[in-house]
Amino acid sequence: MNTIALSSPAWDLEIDANGNIATATGPNAIAQDVASAISTFLGEVYYDTSQGIPYFTSVLAQPYSPSLIQALLVQAALTVPGVVKAQATITKFVGRKISGVVNVIDTNGQALGVTF
């Protein structure tokens, strides 16, 4: 599966050597799509408002619940085509900012880590 390649950390379009919009493939595409899925707010995707994590109603409007946040991150990661298993780990919580990693296994058995 291919996806439009986004630069890190700006998360902006990249241009390939021919001046075209760059694409990512294989594990890079899956990792990038997982990162996008866990960053998407419910209702944010114009063409499918059912996609995304209910950050406003279930995360930001509630007391900190690591187990809920981890479950929502795993659920979002599993919506990415090619992901067969996911596990989220929160490594840091300061104020309202959380950091961690979502580890996924793709259909080829390859392990990928996506930090947030």
Fold of 26-115: Nuclear Transport Factor 2; Chain: A, (3.10.450)
Averages of pLDDT over each 10 residues, the chain, 116 residues: 87 93 95 96 96 94 92 98 97 90 97 95
Q: What is the pTM of this model?
A: 0.90
List strand residue ranges (DSSP E) for 1-96, in order.
Answer: 2-4, 23-25, 83-94
In angstroms, the CA 30 to CA 82 distance is 7
How far is Cα 72 from Cα 53, in angstroms, rounded to an integer? Answer: 6
